[in-house]
Structure 1
Amino acid sequence: MATWKKIALWFFGTLIVAFAGCVALLIHLFADMCATTVVDQVASPNGKLKAVLFQIDCGATTDFNSHVAIVPGNVDTSQKDSLPESFFAADGNHGRAPAGNGGGPEIRLHWQAEDRLELQHHNFVRLIRSETQSEGVTIDYQTFR
C-alpha cells in the first residue's frame, strides 16, 4: 500500500476515534440535566403507602412537570431513583394553570381510604398521564379553578 494511503487511513481512523470519544464525553456530561424534586408526601390512613408529589425541571426551555406516584410508606424518596414511574403527570400548560410549591402546577392529594386517593388539579393543566389505578389504589380525579 502506498505511503499516502497509509497516512490517510491513519488520519481518518484517528479522526473517527476522536469524534466518538467527544460524543461519549458529551453524553456522559449531559445525561441527567433534569432535576427531580419531591414537593409533598401524603401517607395513607394506615401508613402502608404514601402518595408522593414530585416535580421535574429540565431547564429554561421546558415547563415544570408535576408527577404523582404511590410508594410503600417506608420508602425513602430523597433519591429520585427510588421513585417509580408516576401514574399522573401534568404541566402548567404554558402558564395557564397556577403554579404550586416547586414551580409545577398545583396538585392536591387526599386519601379517602386505604385503597382510594383523590387527586385534584387545576382545570387548565395539560394532562400528560392520568391513570385510574396504581399499586392497588383507585385514583379519583377532581378539578378546581
Structure 2
Amino acid sequence: MTRGLGALLLILLGVLGAAGCSTGPDLCERTEVKRVAAPEGDRAAVVFVKNCGATTGYSTHVSVVAPDQAVGDDNEIFSADGDDGVVPLGPDNALALRVTWSAADRLMIEYPAGTRIFTQQPDRGPIKIDYRES
C-alpha cells in the first residue's frame, strides 16, 4: 500500500510540476515607448518596455515590425535593462535608446553605457542592425 501511495504522489507531483512549467498565456505587459518608421515606410522599429510582474524589473526592447503589427517575442531584436539601477530609467521605465534608420535596410540602436544586454541580433531578415554604446 505504501509503495502505491508513493507512486501516486510522484505522478501527482510530476503533473503539477508540468502544469507550472507549461507555456500558457504571456503575463508580461508591453508598453510602447516610440515607433520609428523605416525610410520607405514598410516597417518600423518599435521601442517598448516589458514588465513581467513583481519578481522582475522593467526591461527595454526593440522589435522590427510591419507598420500595423504588434510587438512580440518573435520579432524582437534587442532587449536590455538598467542592471538593477546602474543605468537610470526614464519616466516611462525605459532605457534612453536612440533608434535611427540610415537606410531602408540599416538600423542603428544606441544604448547608454552600463546597459545590461540580453538580446542583440545582428540582423532581421534583410535588415542589418548596428549597435553602439553611448
Alignment TM-score, normalising by the size of structure 1:
0.70
Letter matched to residue 94 of structure 1: D
1:124 counterpart = 2:114: yes
Shift of 1:92: 1.0
Name 1:69's counterpart in structure 2: 63
CA distance 1:45–1:104, shift in 2 (3 Å): same
Name 2:90's counterpart in structure 1: 100
CA contact (8 A) 2:60 2:81 kept: yes
Q: Structure 1: any 5+ residue segments left out of the alignment?
A: 1-18
CA contact (8 A) 2:65 2:75 kept: no
CA distance 1:93–1:46, shift in 2 (3 Å): same
For 1:14-93, what aligned pairs fall within 5 Å after superposition? Answer: 31-74=25-68, 76-77=69-70, 84-93=74-83
Identity of aligned residues (%): 31
Distance in 2 (alpha carbons) for counterparts of 1:66 and 1:31: 21
CA contact (8 A) 1:71 1:84 kept: no
Name 2:9's counterpart in structure 1: none
Shift of 1:142: 1.2
Shift of 1:61: 2.4
Runs (4+) off by over 6 Å: none
Alignment TM-score, normalising by the size of structure 2:
0.76
CA contact (8 A) 1:67 1:87 kept: yes
CA distance 1:84–1:102, shift in 2 (3 Å): farther
CA contact (8 A) 1:38 1:77 kept: no
Distance in 1 (alpha carbons) for counterparts of 2:116 and 2:87: 8
- Secondary structure (helix, strand or coil) at the match of 1:84 reads helix
Greater helix fraction, Structure 1 or Structure 2: 1
